[in-house]
Chains A and B, each alone.
Chain A
Amino acid sequence: MSWITNFLTSSIGRKLIMSLTGLFLIQFLLIHLIGNLQLLVDDGGEKFNLYAQFMTTNPVIKAASILLYAGILLHIIQGLLIWKQNSGSRNTRYAVSKNPNVDFSSKNMAWLGTIIMVFLILHLWQFWFKMKFGTVPPIDYNEGTGPVKDLYTLVAAAFKNPLYVIAYVIGMIVIALHLKHGFQSSFQTLGLNHKKYTPFIKGLGLIYSILVPLGFAIIPIYFYFFR
């Protein structure tokens, strides 16, 4: 085996992949949120639909999105591999297991990740798949872009269904928990633990893991109650 495969299959190498893909997905979430917040603009969806059109057609964004898909897949596959390996590291479980000092999310990253994966499938099937491969009725804003797909109406319709709203809110809570551990953990894996800076990173991570999912969760709630 070459040194690089050696590294990638080492415990620290695997974790490094988790950390780097995790950080990549963390920054994606923020960008995704900024875009999605346009749904809250009261213009009948014009801004959002134009943005969606841009995101699906711009070649640079398209290239970046391939990176994103790869990142998600890598994060999932590597996560599952680590999960499998970790669950094999103990033959008999403890009869009594009490970890009074341990954070819920830290212990349950794999489960939280799995729920997020299920949520992601739902989310992609519902919007991304339809946008890419399905038939979304076009709308023309005469902005020189020609007719664009009316994703806004699709979203608005979906979030009139209370089940979807609940699913999305739960999904966001789970993401918040996943982020709560993941954000600071990715820095630890990179070796960035410092008496002076780590408290700051942890604080930032906590704020991030509350604000970003909250921002996402507001959207379905807003549509359900106020549109």
Chain B
Amino acid sequence: MPLKANSPEGALDDKWTKYRSTMNLVAPNNKRRIDIIVVGTGLAGAAAAATLGELGYNVKAFTFHDSPRRAHSIAAQGGINAAKNYQNDGDSVFRLFYDTIKGGDYRSRESNVHRLAEVSRNIIDQCVAQGVPFAREYGGLLANRSFGGVQVSRTFYAKGQTGQQLLLGAYQALSRQISLGNVEMYNRHEMLDLVIEDGKARGIIARNLLTGKLERFGAHCVVLGTGGYGNVFYLSTNAMGSNVSAAWRATKRGALMANPCYTQIHPTCIPVSGEYQSKLTLMSESLRNDGRVWVPAHKEDVMAIREKRMSAKDIPEDRRDYYLERRYPAFGNLVPRDVASRAAKVACDEGFGVNKTGLAVFLDFASAIQRYGKTEAHSNGIHNPDPKKIEELGKKVIEAKYGNLFEMYEKITGEDPYDVPMKIFPAVHYTMGGLWVDYNLETNIPGLFALGECNFSDHGANRLGASALMQGLADGYFVIPYTIGQFLSKEIRTPKINSDSPAFMEAEKDVDGRLKKLLSINGSQSVESFHRRLGLIMWEYCGMSRNAEGLQKGRKLIQELRAEFWKDVFVPGSDDEFNPELEKATRVADFLELGELMMVDALDRNESCGGHFREEYQSEEGEALRRDDEYAYVSAWEWKDGDDPILHREDLEFENVELKTRSYK
């Protein structure tokens, strides 16, 4: 069955404007009678809940955290893109649209991406009005920096804590609606099932994590802003609690999961240090503005470094391989994430990795320190500065720009990055795939909407830096408040949803059965140990590069692991108390199914694009080989318990950009 995106007709740049002015509205008196459930209170969820509350709907918002302010959006460091062109460097809505489409390796939907680029400008205005303390220039105006994959400076930032500040802005807007009574907030409540009545999403089953009690909530529609599923890899830059369960429960109820194999491996993370490791820490991409990536050009230097006989500083310039600058002279260290990650993998696969595991490359700030030091000396009127003074001044500039990141690096590794180059390695960071949605952000289940990282729509096969925050807020503040009306305008005669109806009771019974089952297995292995094993399988067979044989094997291994999980997992405690192990068990159970679907999707996509690199499809130089003639579509999967997933295709039509081989050379 081909899927319909429901993109409005007309020229690309006035699709949204026209659509917005002609779509159905819900009158204020009717809004007061309509209930909306918003699950997840990160950037997308909190922004949506706050805005829908402002509009007058009755909103119930849910988070499994103790407070909406803890959502993982908070950890985004680098910044948020917007086509403001404040720097006068040639930016425009079309250019942001084009960069995003190209960055996504031509696997996203034109109409959605263009809308994203359009509203990006409103986001900055809105956030400034909310009091987000963006970085500013001396003249008091907003500052920008540049990010990977683009040639303009359009990224707005608040130190290395942009996600935190934007989330707090949304959290505060949400708090205001809570205090006004427009939003009812349910903290420490986890959605464990979606309830469908007459083919429409009408509510959720949530577990009160404090008491363990299952609760039924009915509403006219359900909005998911529950983030991505990177934790299927166990080791990722995601928070420990980030999970796929809300989206996966929707998938199990018939929603389609689109492009699950598109995962973003972020090039600049702190390398793994040991087996006990629980998560990986990202070093913002903004570091690549000033840091140069390299490995030694000779194997004997590599060995010397691994054995600590030499330090990076001892290696002369002519014995270093700045491989990104060498391979991609046009973009250099600022190539997109997928390209940078793969290049690091190539260098390490060839045996040039610089730590004892052989899985690390250098990110070096020495040249930037020199460059800034000289400029700074000049502007301070020092004409013949000695090298020490230059270094001192240069380090100060670097500290002002990235101080908190450098501090974090030192805390974790115990090494001083001002002195020796950082060691970095790629790690799972973001998932471009997610629930399939149309132009209205509505899934194939009427009344079920998905926002932010939870949906698949805007980033294609690879996301550009500083675009996740943009998409989350665009969906929450400026898209869903309009598009939800298309569905709700038909629901004004629907009375309050009765959460005691058979559909609700049945869903509750299902969930209860699942929890009881997990507790009754009483096996011998912890949930965490299954999660770790799943992660290893995913990384090995569905990680930075994939091949058909490995994917088939991986799928089989996951099926076996899942069977073992349901036979031998140990979950302590009971279901009528605060029980984090039980929470984890439900999430890992869902990952064990999602992981299989990812393998299926990666196997089906016989091409390399963005974050999905199939070894069989590469050029002679080792670059990704996209196959537009056969694979310019979105793979939306229907999950069948115990059977092969069914593929539904949405063909991607490109009317405004020409499909080209992505080149950053």
Given a CB threshold of 8 Å, the question of whether A touches B is answered with no
> Which residues of A come within 8 Å of B, CB atoms?
none
